[in-house]
Amino acid sequence: MHRKERSCGSREWPAVLVVTGWMLAGLGCDDDPDSYGDFECSGSSCVCPGTGDCTIRCLDACDLQCAGSGACDFECPAGCLAACTGSGPCVVTVGDESTVDCTGSGGCDVACAADCTVSCPGSGDCYVHCTDGATCELTNCSSDVVVCPDGLQVCGAPCPS
């Protein structure tokens, strides 16, 4: 799993769009019916749909969930709760005192901009990138946590070459 660039940036959306799972079903990105594009949301109802890729930028106090089969790309500030419970890959960027739970089979690629906790009991590989000076705790790994020469922490896989 690799960190990816954000897609669908040319689509114009209102400054704040509160997104719930049922609202996402009718929104698309460009001409790809399987891609739901970039969304901004707040609160505990930020859930990606069951299918298709999903990119969400949290504005504040978000509980994000990636429960489907598509790829999810989440970005959120301090105090974020993100859950990757589905079969699609999850790319998550979080702020200080955030928690990411990777219980699904799709794996997680997490970038912590400050102190964070990442739990990886799922069957997918977990990668945790930690900003210099921050404390990133990788827990519940079913195998040994590997710390790569560049500081990347890995659960379920060797260091990338």
pTM: 0.76
Q: How far is CA 22 from CA 50, 86, 97, 120, in A?
A: 10, 17, 29, 28
Q: Residue 142 has what pLDDT?
A: 87
Within a domain: 8? no
Given a contact cutoff of 8 angstroms between Cβ atoms, the answer to whether 7 and 55 are in contact is yes
Q: Residue 12 has what pLDDT?
A: 28
Q: Residue 127 has what pLDDT?
A: 97
Q: Whole-angstrom Cα distance, residue 69 to residue 141?
A: 22
Within a domain: 148? yes
Within a domain: 10? no
Within a domain: 135? yes
Closest CA to 76 of 48, 112, 122, 24: 112
- Other beta carbons within 10 angstroms of residue 112's beta carbon come to 24
Which residue's entry shows tokens 């504040």? Answer: 60
Q: Residue 36 has what pLDDT?
A: 43
Domain residues for the domain of 146 are 21-155
Count of structural domains within the chain = 1
Q: Residue 27 has what pLDDT?
A: 30
Q: Whole-angstrom Cα distance, residue 139 to residue 155?
A: 9
Within a domain: 47? yes
Q: What is the pLDDT along the chain (161 residues), one digit of tens a residue?
A: 444 333 322 222 222 222 222 222 223 223 333 334 577 888 776 888 778 898 999 888 788 999 889 999 999 989 999 999 999 999 999 999 999 999 999 999 999 999 999 999 999 999 999 999 999 999 999 899 999 999 999 999 999 98
Q: Residue 155 has what pLDDT?
A: 96
Within a domain: 132? yes
